[in-house]
Each structure stands twice: as C-alpha cells, then as structure tokens.
C-alpha cells in the first residue's frame, strides 16, 4: 500500500486534515453498517426456506473431530443462515482472530456482477452479486467450516467432494450444509456440515452472495463519480488490503493462505473491465429484464493472498508501451490521457521494473501491468499484482505547472508500489505483525531506484527529509510501538488496519537502511536475493529474513559482527523507540539511553531496561573512521577523544544511517559550533542537517539546554543549502511560536536575528522565482524547503517577501494561466489574501466554486482563512453554516478560521452566537477540536475554567471530561513553552 499521509511528503497538510475528517465519517458509516448487519438476519431469497432471526443461537458446536452419536445421521436440507454479534452463542473458534488450520485454500473461481450502468443517477450505493467456488484441501477432520465474510448476504452454500481426483472412482460427493451463520465480531461465515470432511481430501465450497457497493468508501468494492470530457461519469474499483477482500467475496482472508484465482467480471458493455491478469475471453449475458451485460474472464493468477485480488470497471482511456516484451498500460480519465498527463509515469514505469528485475535477479512474473489513476483514492496507491491502483494526484503529471515536485512524487510512489511486486506480492509476510517486511523494504528501495536514475540526487539528504526526520519526531519509548510485533498480541481486526503507519513505513525503511550500512550494499542485496528466491510465491517471517542475512555473513570473513544478525536487528524491531547516543569527547565514553519526550530526572521510574546493539559509523575531522559497536549501556572508545586543537571535532552516525539521535558533552557541542563558525563546508551537508535537528530535538526534550542548540545557528549567514535552512526553520519557527499571542517580546528579536542571516539565501531563491523558476524543477531539496522559507520570510515581515507575494498573486488573478509555482502556492495565496481586500477574497471564493479537484479546493479554503478583515472572516463563517452555493465539504471552515492568526478571535465570538448551527453542520466532536485550537495559548487554571464555561452548554458530559484533561495538557505544555521562550528571548537579546 502507498505510504501513509503522516510521512509529511506524499500528502499536503491540508489533505492530511481532510483525511482525518473522512476517517471520522467512515467510522460513523461503519458503525451504522455494523449495527445493520448485527440487527438483521440476512434476508433470504424467496426460494429458500425461512431462516432464523438474529437472536437465534446456533446449535451448540462440536469440535471438528467429534463424531456424531451412534446411529445418528444428518438431514439433507437447505442451510439456515443466521447472523450473530457475540451474544447467545457458545464459545468456539469464531472467537479467535485467526482462522483454524482445518482448510487450506488452493484455488478460487470468482465471479462478480456489480450493477453499475453509465448515464444513471447514481445513488450512494449500488448492489452486486457474486459466486465463488473455492477449492480447498482438508488438513483435519471437521464438521464445521470457517471463512471470512463481512457485510455479505449468503444466498446459497454447497460443499462438494471429495473431488474426483481424490475419490479414485471418478465420482464427486456432496457434503450437506445444515446451517450457515455469521460471527460478526471476528467477521466469519460458519458452515455447519451434515458430515465430516476427511483429512487429505480436496473439496469445493460453492457460495452465492450479494452485497452493497458504497460511493467513495474506498474499502472492498467502491465506486466514484467524476467529471470527464464535460460529463459526469462513474467507475468501480477495489481495495482489498488489509482485510477487505472478505467484504467482496467469502474467502480465507489471511496473507499466508495463498491461492490462485480465476476472476470473471460482469459489466456494462460500454465499460472496460480490468483485473490482475490479462483478459482471457468475453461473452454476453442477459439479466432477468433482458438487458445485455458483458462477461469478461481473466487468466489464472499466480499464488497470491486475497488482499491482492483487484478489479476495476471504468470508461477510461490508456497509453501503453512494452518493457522486455510485457505490456504496460496507464489508465486514466480521457481528458488526462489526451493532455499527456500519464506520459511521464508511463515512461518511467518500465525502466523501474527492469532495474528491480536486474537488482534482484528475479523477473517480474506476470505478463502485463495495468496502472489505473482514480479521481480520488484514500490509500494513495496499492500494489495489486498486475493492476496497480493510484490516486491520480500521485500518478498524473500536470503540464501547466513548470515548477512542481510531482515528478519526484510520482517517481517515489511508483518505485514503492513496483518494489512491492517482490516485497509483498512475490514474498508475503506470514501474518500482519511483520507487515514491515513489505512496507519498510518497499519504502527503502524507493531511494535506490531514484538514485539509480538520478545519480546526482542527494540521497542521504532526501532520505532524511522524506523518511527519517518525520519518524524520529514521532517515535519514543512510551508511545510508539515495535516494528515487528508478536502475532498472538492481535485480538481485533481493527488492530491490523492500524499497522499501516509511520513506524511500519518510515521506521521500517530506516532499519533496512541501517542494516545495509553496517554490512555493505553487496552483502545486503545478496541476502535479499537469497531470501526472495527461497520464499517466492510463499510466505516468510522476520526470522526467515535474518537467517538469509546470517548465511551471507557466514560465507565471508571480511565483515564481522558482534552478534548474530537476528540478535542485532531484534534489538531494534522488537522494542519501541530508539536510543540517544551520548559521546563524551574528553574521555571517549559512549553511552546509550532510551529517548523520551520530555526527559525526566528520575528515569528509574520509566519501564525500559533493554539496550540496543548500536552500529556507530563516524567521522573525525571530516575523515571517515572504522565502524564500532555499542552493545552495552556504555563503552569507552579512546579514538573518539578530541584534543584542545580548534580543528578537532567528531560526529557520530555517518550519513545518519543509524536509527538514533546523537548527543555530545559540552565540549563536543562547542567543537562543532566552532567548526561551523570557522568553516561550515568542512562538515558535510547531511551532518549540518543532523547536528541542527538533533540539537533542537534534544533541547526540546531536556537532554541539553536550548542555548546549545541556538549557538549552532550563529553561522547561518554562511549557509547556502536550503535544506539546512529548512531544518533550522521547522525547529525554530514552530506552529506553537507563530500561534502564541504572548511571543511578541521574542518576535522583534527573532526577526532581527533571523533576517540578518536569512537575507542571503532569500535573495538566491527570490531571484530565481522572479527570473526563471523552471530551473528549480530538478532541485528536489529546494522544492521541499521553499514553502517554509517563504512562509518564514513573510511572517518575519521581510518586505521583499511580501512584495513578491503581491506580484505573484496579482499576476495569477489577472491571468490564471500564470501559475504560481506549486511549492509556494499556499504561502502566496495566503499572503495575497492577508495583504488584499474583499476583491481578492471574492476572486478566491469564485475560483473555489469552479474547481473540481479536492486538493485545489482545500488549498483555496485555507487561503481564504488568511484574511485579516474581521468582516470578511465573519462572512466566511456564515457561508460555512448556511445553505450557501459553496459546499465547503472538503474541510471544516470553522476549524480553519480558528487556527488562523486573526481568525482565532473571530471564531470564538462566532461560536457564542452560532454554536447550535456549527454543531449541526460539523458535529459535536468539532466543538472539542475547536476548544483545543482556541485554547492553544492558555497557561492558567483560570483560563481553563473560562473556556470550560464558554463551551459548557455546547458539550456533553463525557466530552467535558475529555476536554478538561486536554486543556490541562495544553496548559502544561504552554508553561513549558513559556519557560523555553523566556530563555530563547534572553539568548536573542545577547546575540541579536
């Protein structure tokens, strides 16, 4: 699956906020569905007998091996179908998250018939019907079958077998199905049989079912309505990962239960149907009304898990090419294909496949690859074998914007999903507890692919910016989780969905990179080749991977390790957080301790006794030194001592390949500061990034004083690398600082201090923007960092920044084809509105009304909140709660305005008079969020009381308790920020 939005690279902040809102909406929808599902026994077809109601408990189950009483036989009859939600049923295997091992699926014959027609008034839901024949092998005698099913109506169920090849006499038997019931808690369909299945026998489960397809739910089967060539159209697609295949067809929905699939899709003749494999044939079917439908059948897939089954039904066009004799097609809206938006992705997809084939020495096994761009797709992208699904914003290249990071974004995402063809599709984790084996390695190889095609890309700096910085800022011992978990720790399906997070992707990629760094690239790749070859079309666990690394290590004698690969890597994957490595440069003593958010004085109270086996690559005076290992709490390395010489300095963690932060004693930091002021270029860019980011993080969490971090910024007038400036600004000019109404003592000092150093780097990039912004197209780090540079310069009141904002905004409003460079568009729009009048605001409002792309509408909605005119903001808030022509469905306008510089005051007063309307429009949970936003600056108990009284009538009792606890947390955080700000202000007085 595509990387999570929290990575900070793939999804904008505005989109991230939107996704949070959509998630809340989805949970409400899911709760409603669950209530419906648990409330009613599935309505039976008219030709089946009456079925038991929802409160009818199944007959007491027997164990699979229990024989029937002597002389008793099962009646042959149609099964009864019952739904249960955990009440009124005896305990059994349906109470466990994992399927019992009685059956092994071998092959699925799957037919799906979604009732999607063009030129219809599409309702929020469509119906679909389906049939699936699953060939299974029985491994233990059983009278009961469990398989996954969620929100599906079972229309009929039969079990045939033993199949002829096993019976020996050419006959095929039939095992009566006495009862079919649903265990909703663990999402099972249970078949009670009239006779036992025999170990070693092969059987065929024949199931007919029906269900609903929801618009834009984007889990299981879903459909989307969009505009193409001026017309409203609809398409249907699937998203089965991790556990949504069971909502499309009854199946054995676990990653280790691989099988082959023959897929048949019945669809309107004007649509094209796509699936994992090439189309095998096409025929015609008429429904009961005599209407004609097309039946598309597809070739048999390789062995694969259910989560990779994929299909799409659409009215799309495509572009294609061949790579090593295999067809690649990019499918998208006809407008996008005609405009050439898919050409960039098409041209790089084949070479990425070829590079990875050569790297792993394993050919891509499927005969074709289809990649489809959906108008919206919450998962960013999905790696289904043979049919990759993307959000079009991550696959299609806009041709009107000459300065965009879209080329890099598309390259990274494509590399990630194509990497899954080996990590995940060819070799699949045995269970979701090791999902990092696919997501972490796919994320890691994004950078290998990009580096191969763009050798000048600063790989280390980009990895830091895209992957490492984000996860280090979120990871710590008491809140995060281990990358690899114990399988038995899972008790609910929802826990599987939660694994697709920053730790699986970013931490997984970081640990893979660390492993590669302390071995070497050749050993690393050789071990992966062995692993992929051994477990092709099968499943593996983390220990399987470590065994193959150990085999490669044991076959050579150049690289020596202090412990087995398993011991080393388990110390990182099986525990949460990461260490802080502290070097005393006077003694050469290196120690490790767990990193905590807000280090406390009495650490003995904190539950963490383990240590990491830490590889330390390092440099001294710019020269790379030999690898050393810290395999205990502390060690002495005499070679790390520094002399009194002004030229002597040490930096641990070469290229930031180790997953840890580095601290130094007072002398160590002083030496680095002296070197930066004397000759900053002697320290490589990645390490200027490192010392800034480590120092600010450590100071924020009480490992070092804030003054130590600030001292490292004195040299910045000589810093010409924008990515280093980015690290400084995101750490120094934080949201808390910008939002803090009490920071005005610091503001003029910070303005003077930063502008004195910022002018040089600003002049470089402002000149480029004015004269020829297109030269930035291949400067990826600039594209990443420009927004923060512009945002800070304008916030500090740099007149040239404000003037440039006016110029770019005016040029765009006069002629919208004069695109504002996308990396700075949000800033320019914001300051264009802040510095403008009602005329500019109305222009943006009209632009919003005419935009169809969700991401563009969100960007405009946020920009409109930047107005400094209270009257305009009140008008904006009125639009948000009235039936205006502006839907504002993409974001919560009240929250957006409340988070703005002037809007925080307007929103509070607006709520007093309109809280009922706000609650009805956005829900009571929005009031909790608004309280948190408005309460950002509180620092006393009196202020908490005032806010609680203010919101008292708006919140329910349980919400009041939650909010009170949250406000106490905010207050404590603000008090800590005040103390920090006071010290920063004092330092700035001395140094500004």
Binding annotation for Zn(2+)? 416, 420, 439
Those residues with Cβ within 8 angstroms of residue 56's Cβ, 6 or more apart along the chain or in another chain? 41, 82, 88
DSSP letter for each residue of 442-455: HHHHHHHHHHHH-T
Nearest to 399 by CA among 341, 354, 456: 341
Is the CB of residue 326 less than 8 Å from the CB of residue 347? Answer: no
Is the CB of residue 143 less than 8 Å from the CB of residue 64? Answer: yes
- Cα 834 from Cα 830, distance rounded (Å): 6
Q: How far is CA 266 from the centre of its chain?
A: 32
- Cα 542 from Cα 511, distance rounded (Å): 13
Cα torsion at 293, 294, 295, 297 (round to 10°)?
Answer: -160
Peptide bond into 673 cis (omega under 30): no
Binding site, annotated residues: 416, 420, 439
Reduced to 3 states, what is the DSSP secondary structure of residue 68? coil
Phi and psi, residue 937, nearest 5° = -100, 5
C-beta neighbour count of 45 within 10 angstroms: 11
Helix 343-360 vs helix 436-453: crossing angle, to nearest 10: 110
Rg of the chain (C-alpha set): 30
- Cα 705 from Cα 701, distance rounded (Å): 9
The residue with tokens 């939660």 is 498
Phi-psi region of 378 (alpha: psi -120 to 50; beta: other; left: phi over 0): alpha
DSSP letter for each residue of 929-964: HHHHHHGGG--SHHHHHHHHHHHTTTS-HHHHHHHH
* b (16+ CB within 10 A) / e for 329-338: bbbbbeebbe
Those residues with Cβ within 8 angstroms of residue 391's Cβ, 6 or more apart along the chain or in another chain? 2, 373, 374, 376, 377, 378, 379, 380, 381
C-beta neighbour count of 448 within 10 angstroms: 18
Helix, strand, coil shares of the chain, percent, nearest 5, are 45, 20, 35
Residue 121: Cβ-neighbour burial (10 angstroms; 0-12, 13-18, 19+): exposed
Is the CB of residue 787 less than 8 Å from the CB of residue 823? Answer: yes
Q: Is 417 annotated in the active site?
A: yes
Is the CB of residue 620 less than 8 Å from the CB of residue 675? Answer: no
- Cα 641 from Cα 873, distance rounded (Å): 60
Nearest to 715 by CA among 726, 724, 704: 724
- Cα 189 from Cα 81, distance rounded (Å): 9
Those residues with Cβ within 8 angstroms of residue 369's Cβ, 6 or more apart along the chain or in another chain? 326, 327, 328, 329, 349, 353, 386, 388
- Cα 285 from Cα 557, distance rounded (Å): 66
Phi and psi, residue 149, nearest 5° = -160, 135
User: How do 579-584 and 538-540 pair as beta strands?
Assistant: unpaired
* Residue among 111, 417, 541, 787 flagged as catalytic: 417
- Cα 372 from Cα 383, distance rounded (Å): 11
Q: What angle do CA 819, 824, 828 make, to 5 degrees?
A: 75
Q: Which positions are annotated as active-site residues?
A: 417
């Amino acid at each position: 699956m595509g990387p999570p939005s929290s990575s900070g690279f793939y999804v904008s902040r505005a989109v991230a906020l939107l996704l949070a809102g959509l998630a809340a909406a989805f949970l409400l929808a899911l709760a409603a569905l669950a209530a419906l599902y648990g409330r009613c026994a599935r309505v039976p077809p008219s030709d089946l007998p009456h079925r038991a109601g929802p409160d009818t408990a199944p007959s007491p189950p027997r164990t699979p091996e229990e024989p029937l009483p002597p002389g008793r036989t099962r009646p042959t009859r149609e099964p009864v179908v019952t739904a249960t939600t955990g009440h009124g049923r005896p305990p059994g295997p349906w109470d466990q998250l994992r399927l019992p091992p009685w059956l092994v699926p071998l092959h699925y014959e799957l037919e799906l018939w979604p009732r999607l027609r063009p030129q219809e008034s599409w309702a929020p839901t469509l119906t679909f019907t389906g049939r699936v024949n699953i060939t299974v092998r029985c491994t233990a005698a059983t009278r009961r079958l469990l398989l996954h099913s969620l929100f599906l109506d079972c229309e009929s169920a039969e079990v045939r077998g033993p199949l002829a090849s096993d019976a020996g006499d050419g006959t095929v038997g039939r095992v009566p199905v006495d009862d079919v019931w649903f265990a909703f808690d663990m999402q099972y369909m249970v078949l009670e049989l009239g006779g036992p299945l025999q170990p070693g026998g092969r059987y065929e489960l024949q199931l007919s079912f029906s269900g609903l397809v929801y618009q834009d739910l984007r889990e299981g089967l879903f459909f989307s309505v969009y505009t193409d060539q001026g017309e409203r159209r609809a398409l249907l697609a699937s998203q089965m990962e991790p556990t949504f295949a069971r909502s499309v067809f009854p199946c054995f929905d676990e990653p280790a239960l691989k099988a082959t699939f023959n897929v048949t899709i019945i669809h309107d003749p004007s649509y094209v149907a796509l699936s994992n494999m090439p189309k095998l044939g096409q025929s015609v079917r008429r429904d009961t009304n005599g209407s004609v439908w097309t039946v598309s059948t597809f070739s048999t897939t390789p062995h694969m898990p259910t989560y990779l089954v994929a299909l799409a039904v659409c009215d799309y066009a495509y572009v294609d090419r061949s790579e090593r004799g295999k067809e690649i097609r990019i499918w998208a809206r006809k407008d996008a294909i005609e405009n050439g938006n898919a050409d960039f992705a098409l041209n790089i997809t084949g070479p990425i496949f070829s590079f990875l084939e050569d790297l792993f020495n394993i050919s891509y096994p499927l005969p074709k690859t289809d990649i489809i761009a959906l108008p919206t797709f919450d998962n960013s992208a999905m790696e289904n074998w043979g049919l990759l699904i993307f959000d079009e914003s991550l696959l299609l290249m806009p041709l009107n914007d000459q300065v965009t990071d879209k080329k890099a974004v598309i390259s990274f995402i494509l590399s990630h999903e194509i990497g899954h063809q080996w990590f995940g599709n060819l070799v699949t984790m045995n269970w979701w507890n090791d999902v990092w084996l696919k997501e972490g390695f796919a994320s890691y190889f994004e950078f290998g692919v990009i580096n191969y095609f763009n050798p000048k890309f600063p790989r280390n700096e980009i990895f830091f910016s895209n992957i490492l910085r984000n996860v280090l800022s979120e990871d710590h011992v008491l809140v995060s989780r281990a990358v690899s978990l114990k399988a038995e720790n899972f008790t609910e399906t929802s826990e599987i969905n939660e694994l697709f997070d920053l730790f699986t992707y970013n931490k997984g990629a970081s640990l893979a990179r660390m492993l590669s760094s302390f071995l070497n690239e050749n050993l690393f790749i050789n071990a992966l080749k062995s692993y992929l070859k051994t477990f092709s079309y099968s499943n593996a666990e983390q220990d399987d991977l470590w065994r193959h690394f150990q085999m490669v290590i044991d076959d050579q004698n150049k690289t020596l390790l202090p412990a087995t690969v398993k011991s080393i890597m388990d110390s990182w994957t099986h525990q949460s957080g990461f260490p802080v490595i502290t070097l005393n440069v006077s003694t050469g003593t290196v120690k490790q301790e767990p990193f905590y958010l807000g280090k406390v004085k009495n650490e003995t109270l904190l539950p963490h006794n383990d240590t990491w086996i830490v590889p330390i690559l390092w440099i001294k005076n710019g020269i790379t030194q030999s690898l050393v290992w810290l395999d205990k709490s502390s060690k002495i390395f005499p070679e790390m001592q520094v002399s009194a010489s002004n030229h002597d300095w040490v930096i641990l963690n070469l290229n930031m390949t180790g997953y840890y932060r580095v601290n130094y004693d007072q002398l160590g930091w002083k030496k680095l500061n002296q070197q930066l002021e004397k000759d900053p270029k002697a320290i490589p860019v990645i390490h200027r990034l490192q010392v800034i980011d480590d120092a600010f993080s450590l100071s924020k969490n009480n490992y070092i004083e804030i003054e130590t971090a600030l001292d490292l910024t004195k040299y910045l007038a000589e810093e010409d690398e924008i990515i280093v400036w980015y690290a400084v600004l995101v750490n120094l000019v934080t949201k808390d600082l910008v939002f803090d109404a009490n920071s005005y003592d610091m503001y003029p000092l910070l303005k003077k201090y930063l502008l004195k150093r910022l002018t040089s780097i600003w002049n470089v990039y402002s000149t480029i923007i004015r004269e020829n912004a297109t030269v930035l197209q291949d400067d990826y780090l600039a594209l990443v960092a420009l927004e923060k540079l512009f945002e800070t310069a304008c916030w500090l009141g740099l007149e040239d920044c404000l003037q440039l904002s006016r110029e770019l905004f005016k040029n765009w409003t006069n002629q919208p084809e004069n695109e504002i460079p996308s990396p700075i568009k949000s800033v320019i729009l914001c300051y264009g509105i802040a510095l403008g009048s009602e005329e500019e605001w109305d222009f943006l409002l009209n632009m919003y009304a005419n935009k169809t792309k969700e991401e563009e509408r969100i960007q405009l909605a946020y920009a409109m909140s930047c107005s400094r005119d209270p009257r305009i903001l009140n008008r904006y808030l009125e639009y948000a709660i009235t039936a205006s022509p502006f839907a504002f469905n993409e974001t919560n306008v009240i929250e957006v305005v409340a988070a703005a510089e002037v809007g925080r005051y307007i929103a509070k007063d607006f709520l007093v008079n309109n809280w009922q309307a706000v609650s009805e429009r956005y829900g009571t949970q929005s009031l909790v969020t608004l309280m948190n936003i408005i309460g950002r600056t509180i620092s006393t108990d009196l202020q908490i009381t005032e806010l609680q009284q203010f919101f008292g009538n708006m919140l329910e009792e349980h919400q009041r308790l939650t909010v009170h606890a949250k406000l106490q947390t905010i207050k404590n955080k603000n008090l800590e920020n005040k103390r920090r700000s006071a010290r920063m202000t004092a330092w700035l007085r001395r140094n500004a």
